[in-house]
Structure 1
Amino acid sequence: MKKNLLAAAMAAALSAAVPASAASLIDDASKAWTFQHSASNGFLSEIVSFDSATKTLWVAGVSGVDVLDAATGSFLQRIDVSPWGAINSVSVHNGIAAFAIENTADRTQPGVVKLFDTHTRALASGVNSITVGALPDMLTFTKDGSKLLVANEATPNTYGSRIGTTVPRVYGAAPNDPVGSVSIIDMNTRSVSATATLAGVAQTGSHIRSNTGMDFEPEYIAVNAAGTQAYVSLQEANAMGVLNLQTGRFESVIGLGAKDFSLPGNRIDPLNNGNKTGTSGYDLISPNVKGLYMPDGMAVYERNGQTYVLLANEGDFREDDGDRSAASSLGATGTLTNLRVSNTDSSTGNLYAAGGRSFSIRATDGTIIYDSGEILDREAMTLGIYNDARSRDKGVEPESVEVMTIGDRSFAFVGLERTAYNNDDAAVGSRVAALAVFDITDPAHTTFVRMLKSDGDMAPEGLEGYVLDGYAYIAFSNEVSSTTSVFRLAPVPEPETYAMLLAGLGLIGLAARRRLG
């Protein structure tokens, strides 16, 4: 009896400081603010990064960076980058904001990283300009800030031509295809210490796309907590590169395989027929089709000494869509007529669509630990924000993923690029952004929590979680609406609260054991 009373007392004390469940943590999430960016000089809200030193958000938008107050959304300054090119990404660490800027005169030529001081909002003192590879698309710091990694996508201006008439199609090499790479910048010297490329790297897994008329194109980078390895999405190739940051070389390219949409829980809507009457009016079916995962945004998560890679399985084709065809051109009829598929992987009766229409968790060797199946599309349908006009493409198009730990729970936030009211992503009144929330505290038993819906925003491209004044927030930059918005999620207990609580519980338990002994 005394033991039961002790257990109850301990549980009550713990619940007073630690939220009881994932659902209760996020239930009270609400929009804190929205900022509408000025479209002057071609600005378009794309990527957002938080600076804890100045409590500001830095939003990259093609022609410049808008700096906003993270608490209120107040506009502070616009930094014009157009004299150097176009900005694709921003990342902030320890008072330094790094800008990834492509050469707009010729994107196949080297790009540049510019370093800014977040306090002065001017170019940082000392070395502040570093030449990197062609079309730097994304950049991120290691956790300790000692390295800055830059994904150089290196997209060609003209793709390779088709060879022969066989199906699946095969494309030759592009006439001028710069080398896709990751630049590793040593922040102590502010110079490139290594440029990691992918030619000749060992390949594992399956369904690596190498016949598309272009080389590997690094898209996104996620770094483990120790700063020893990075995981790089090679989206169009349906692969992930594993980069050793100690040697500065890629160790492997892992093919991410294909998702079977005919299996239970993996249904898709391929019809593109304009249904918009709720879940009963959409056409989720289990067709004989597979999806190539092709992730865009990535994140890493550490649990019980293991590193997990989280991926937003958006799917993507070449810019000119040369590797894309309607399934009808490969003999598909009926419900699959309009589905857009990869013509470098598909043949009659064996169709491969782009994207997994899902969010996945994988081990570092590529093994799937969890996949959200049909949840993203289905939940958007339930909320009336599924854009059926995108059914033949990639559904809601999971674009980005961010991990946050609040109290004793860890969450993945997945930005969905294609949601809208009334199947209309052009009309202002139809604009709505959505972030899917998953509890990933136990990766193997990940659960869907809820969808955060934000009217007036559209096409979240970048996500950034941050803690400010005792609360957890998630910021999201929206490409179509050119807005940046923030959800206030939940209060965050101070680490000292947990330490004191656990120490107190330990003393209570010790005293009780002595009394009961």
Structure 2
Amino acid sequence: MRTLHRTVAAAAATALTATALSAAVLAPATTAAPAPHSAAAQKGHHAGNHGKGHGQKANPSGKTVELSPAGTHETGVFDTSAAEIPAFDASTDRLFVVNAENGAVDVLDVDSAAAPTYSSTLEMAGVAAADGSVIPAGSTVNSVAVHGGIMAVSVEAPEKTDLGWVAFFQTSTLAPLGAVRVGALPDSVAFSGGYAVVANEGEPADDFSVDPEGSISVITVPKSVKQFSRLSQDSVRTVDFRAFDEGTELPEGVRVFGPDVQTPAGQPDAGYIARNLEPEYVTIDPTGRTAYVSVQEANAVAAVDLKSASLKDLWALQLTDWSTEGKFDASNRDSGIELRHWPVLGVPMPDGIDVYRHRGQDLILTANEGDSREWGDYVDTERVKDLTLCEAEYPNAAELQKNENLGRLNVLTDLGWDAERECIAQLHTLGGRGFSVYTADGERLFDSAGLVEQTIADLIAAGELPVEAFNANNDETPSFDSRSDDKGPEPESVVVGKVQGRTYAFLGLERIGGVMVFDITDPTAATFVDYVNERNWDAEEGDEANYGDMGAEGLEFVPASESPSGVALLIVANEVSGSTTVYEVNPTRK
């Protein structure tokens, strides 16, 4: 591993002074729609436009693509992760969907109209691995990826701090091709050309008694099914972060925090930083040479050279300055949609990421979800009203800490803390409530900042969405404004697709649900195109069978050249509702 020492863009953002930010704290609010006396009072408003199956969407002039639902597969299982990550195989027109509830992969057939139907369920238990182990019952499937008629599946051990597996199957016969052992809690897996790459998250035990190291496994995959007899444990090479505990300087802005506990028994010892960094999501560049991996809680992205299985780079993501870059609703007790500038920095901490080529360069998109750590007695967040704010930076602290202002907002407690004065000198909130575009060396080209929340507010004002949609939760209805004090719409995943020569970002929103589409043909000036959401806003509380799609988790874009209908597809797996919806991405201009 080469020495990584570089001042990243995030450093400039963290240098902002809280004094300057606080001057903008009570700027006039942008209220996009009248506030109801209660969310329930709005129930049924514009019911003909936003019931189940109507696909709420905006209709901006000049819209170049429009998403229309082709069909939905429903597991009938609510709020137990029965549909998480989808992967489509063009050679068989099969759709593979992670069903974490069953510890399996559901196999769906996609017909010529792009409608999915259930075919079978593929169990992981009993698959033999190259190291002599066998995947046991009780294991959890976390991710799936397909390439060249072969499927890779990441499998978490029943005890999540134990080492996991990546299993391989033939997509046509569904026959197992073998498995290899990887790191603890293998999460996202990506598959391209000769390599499968998995992010071994290495979360600590729930009681924070032990903490495995985070790592990235690069698996050299045989080129054909017939050659899979060559798959061995030696096919796995591991990229770790141990160099940062051994003298390599950690890049500025990469967040390392929390208790220092031992690795699990039987696993090699690793230092504090190596255990603290937890890879989350993997994407591989179109050339198949480099993998980019989000390290969510650290607010960082790692670049991995696949040929050498080495860490090329690690860089922190630039923070969002909510005093100038965008407006957001910070409270679930402000009785309405209140979009304002606030003296807060947003820490992107992306979950899903994707990469595409633009003018010969890799550009990385990040879905800036944000995440907290809550293990055992350790929690890294607190509400602003419960903190001591430094008087010099926040002379209006009493006003800020009211529930209707910033009082209810959850912020990170390890950032902005002034140990000498024993107070918070700068507030940092979780996530960026949108998406960003970066170069491969960490320069931010675009940040959507408040665009997602403002768009939802505009759709409500235009009658395209009911008011209870704003910052709603993903497992209850109605739940107007309930997520404003946390991470808002909470973008979970992002994928890139090209249609008729234009490039689009599809952004899944975990809380309100649905997918927003942005034109990123010019990566420095992304524009909103469309929004679809098959959630049924008119469903009664407790009527889970009629909720529609809730909790968009994983996305898959299928180009028109690989689609069974001849039209590009967007596939959305919805974690809470356990449903998978296939959309056709229809160009509106010929």
Q: Please, what TM-score do these two structures have when normalized by structure 1?
A: 0.80
Confirm whether residue 399 of structure 1 aligns to residue 447 of structure 2.
no
Letter of the structure 2 residue corresponding to residue 465 of structure 1: F
Quote the offset at 1:282 in angstroms: 0.5
- Give 2:412's aligned amino acid: S
Whether 2:337 is the aligned partner of 1:282: answer yes
**Kept in 1: contact 2:294–2:301 (CA 8 A):** yes
Q: 1:405 to 1:26 in 2, by over 3 A?
A: same
Is residue 431 of structure 2 the alignment partner of residue 355 of structure 1? yes
1:153 alignment partner in structure 2: 201
Equivalent position of 2:144 in the other structure: 90
Q: Distance in 1 between matches of 2:449 and 2:189?
A: 29
By how many angstroms is 1:108 displaced?
1.0
**Structure 1 equivalent of residue 183 of structure 2:** 133
User: CA shift at 1:205, angstroms?
Assistant: 5.7
Change (3 A) 1:478 1:284: same
Structure 1, 82-91 or 407-416: larger mean CA deviation = 82-91
1:26 maps to what in 2? 65
Contact 2:63 2:530 in 1 (8 A): no
* 1:510 corresponds to: none
Which of 242, 263, 271 is the equivalent residue of 2:331? 271
Q: Is the 8 A contact 2:144 2:188 kept in 1?
A: yes
* Distance across 1 between alignment mates of 2:458 and 2:567: 29
State the distance in 2 between where 1:131 and 1:492 align. Answer: 47
Matched, 1:311 2:366: yes
Structure 2: distance between partners of 1:228 and 1:415: 27
Pair 1:154–1:72, CA change in 2 (3 A): same
Give runs of aligned pairs for residues 240-279 of structure 1, distance below 5 A. 240-263=301-324, 265-273=325-333, 275=335
5+ residue gaps, structure 1, are 1-20, 160-173, 276-280, 420-432, 498-517
The one of 521, 535, 545 equivalent to 1:441 is 521
In 1, Cα distance between the equivalents of 2:108 and 2:366?
A: 28
Contact kept? 2:78, 2:578, Cα under 8 Å:
no
Higher strand fraction (1 or 2):
1
Instruction: Give the corresponding residue for 1:118.
Output: 171
- In 2: Cα distance, 1:397 partner to 1:270 partner: 13
Q: Residues 491 and 286 (structure 1 numbering): CA distance in 2 closer, same or farther, change over 3 Å? A: closer
From 471, 487, 493, the equivalent of 2:567 is: 471
Residues in 2 aligned to 1:257 and 1:409: alpha-carbon distance in whole angstroms: 27
CA distance in 2 between partners of 1:116 and 1:492 (Å): 38
Q: Is the 8 A contact 1:231 1:243 kept in 2?
A: yes
> Is the contact made by 1:271 and 1:391 (CA closer than 8 Å) also made in structure 2?
yes
1:225 Cα deviation after fit? 1.6
Query: How far is 1:251 from its partner?
Result: 2.3
- Deviations 1:193-227 (CA, angstroms, capped at 9, x unpaired): 41000122556764321122361000011111222
CA-atom RMSD, angstroms?
A: 2.3
Deviation sequence 1:306-360 (CA, Å, 0-9, x none):
1100000000011436111111122351211111011111332410001011100
Paired amino acid for 1:102: E
How far off its partner does 1:23 sit?
4.3
Residue 187 of structure 1: which of 210, 221, 224 is its match?
221
- How far apart in 2 are the matches of 1:204 and 1:444? 29
Tell which has more relative contact order, 1 or 2 (C-alpha 8 A, sep 6+): 2
Deviation at 1:40, TM superposition (A): 10
Distance in 1 between residues matched to 2:78 and 2:301, nearest whole Å: 37
Question: Within 2, Cα distance between the matches of 1:319 and 1:400?
Answer: 22
Aligned to 1:168: none
- 8 Å contact from structure 1 (residues 22, 449) kept in 2: no
Aligned partner of 2:119 among 76, 85, 100? 76
Please name the residue that 2:225 is paired with.
none
Normalised to the residue count of structure 2, the TM-score between the two structures is 0.70
Q: Which whole-Å CA distance do the structure 2 matches of 1:38 and 1:122 have between them?
A: 27
Structure 2 letter corresponding to 1:222 = T
In 2, Cα distance between the equivalents of 1:485 and 1:61?
A: 14
Aligned partner of residue 172 in structure 2, secondary structure = coil
What's the secondary structure of 2:320's corresponding residue? strand
Give the corresponding residue for 2:54: none
Q: In 2 relative to 1, CA 59–274 (structure 1 residues): closer, same or farther, beyond 3 Å?
A: farther
Once the two structures are overlaid, the 10-residue window that deviates more, 314-323 or 236-245, is: 314-323
Matched, 1:59 2:97: yes
TM superposition shift of 1:381: 2.5
Q: CA deviation at 1:39?
A: 3.2
Distance across 1 between alignment mates of 2:572 and 2:62: 21
Q: How does 1:398-437 map to 2 (within 5 A)?
A: 398-419=491-512, 433-437=513-517
Q: CA deviation at 1:73?
A: 1.2
Checking the alignment, whether the CA contact within 8 Å between 1:222 and 1:232 is kept in structure 2 is yes
> Within 2, Cα distance between the matches of 1:326 and 1:48?
35
Contact 1:317–1:354 (CA<8 Å) still a contact in 2? yes
User: Which residue among 348, 359, 377 is the counterpart of 1:293?
Assistant: 348
Which among 188, 191, 211 is matched to residue 257 of structure 2?
211
Q: Does 1:372 align with 2:448?
A: yes
Contact 1:379–1:451 (Cα < 8 Å) also in 2 = no
d(CA) in 2 for partners of 1:337, 1:484:
37
Is the Cα contact below 8 Å between 1:297 and 1:312 reproduced in 2? yes
User: Following the alignment from structure 1 to structure 2, what is the Cα–Cα distance between the partners of residues 64 and 40?
Assistant: 16
Query: Counterpart in 2 of 1:108?
Result: 161
Give the direction of change, closer, same or farther, for the CA distance of 1:205–1:285 in structure 2 (3 Å limit). farther
Per mean C-alpha deviation after superposition, the further-off stretch among 458-467 and 242-251 is 242-251
**Deviation of the 1:492 alpha carbon:** 11
**Is residue 178 of structure 1 aligned with residue 207 of structure 2?**
no
Q: Give the AA of the match of 2:509.
A: L
